[in-house]
A = this chain, B = another copy of it.
Amino acid sequence: MRPSQRSADQLRAISITRNYTKHAEGSVLIECGDTKVICTASIDEKVPPFLRGKGQGWVTAEYGMLPRSTGSRMDREAARGKQSGRTQEIQRLIGRSLRSVVDLKKLGERTIQIDCDVIQADGGTRTASITGAFVALHDAVSLLLKKELLAASPLTDFVAAISVGVYRGVPVLDLDYAEDSDCDTDMNVVMTGSGGFVEVQGTAEGVPFSRGEMEALLDLAQSGIGQLVAQQKTALGV
């Protein structure tokens, strides 16, 4: 029995709100149950130094949590003077995941900077960030197309992410915080709309997991990501 009464293969309610704030070229509020993340995409008409003059663009991401997005208040990273290892790991993951569906040559010498800021956390913030950030990225690209700064879209596919885990011995889809704090294995899976794997990151928190459990988790993830990509398409009207 899951604390949320969901069945093992059931996602939380998903809501994707576009144009959530007014300044960014793409701005999305994604809600996965009680997890809420603002994802923005900002276009910058230059590339980082290591790419200058190489005829290609860049997509990168930063991630943050409001100090009281969580049950007990976390220190503000800006005040502590550095980002935690966890934060850096997550923002590297978001960036890699999005770049997997962007043809950087086609993007031209510009950067799309993604910001994912968690305003309320209830498990799965990194996967919600990826799923929401793709929609913000899509909106920013649409703007470039509309302004005729790009002739063709550099997006090669959709991308979304979900967590799966072994909770009290049972493989389940889309862990919320109560499950995440109490599970044996936690796995984050990033996949494209056409079903290719981009990232698989599984960690045994307690008992190591077996090959059989891994197969069951991958099955759940494939099913969940199919649903998420459908929601992205609905939100984008494509």
Contacts and interface: CB of A to CB of B under 8 A. Distances in A.
Interface of A: 21-24, 27, 34, 36, 38, 40, 42, 44, 62, 64, 66-71, 73, 76-79, 81-83, 85-89, 91-92, 96, 100, 113, 115, 117, 119-121, 187, 191-192, 194, 196-204, 207-211, 214, 218, 222
Given A67-B115, A200-B202, A100 B23 contact: no
Given A24-B73, A198-B203, 8 more contacts: A62-B76, A66-B117, A67-B113, A78-B82, A82-B82, A196-B209, A198-B208, A214-B218
Contact of A42 (B62, B68, B87): B68
Contacts of A211: 197, 218, 222
28 contacts: A21-B66, A21-B69, A23-B69, A23-B120, A24-B73, A38-B66, A38-B119, A42-B68, A44-B73, A66-B115, A67-B113, A67-B115, A77-B78, A78-B83, A81-B82, A85-B89, A88-B89, A89-B92, A191-B208, A196-B207, A197-B208, A197-B209, A197-B214, A198-B208, A199-B201, A199-B203, A201-B201, A211-B222
Nearest to A36: B21
Contacts of A115: 66-68, 73, 76
Chain copies in the assembly?
6
Contact of A197 (B44, B85, B92, B210): B210
Nearest to A71: B23
A64 B67 CA distance: 10
Q: Give the 6 A-B CB pairs with smallest separation, nearest first.
A: A196-B208, A85-B88, A77-B78, A40-B68, A42-B73, A24-B68
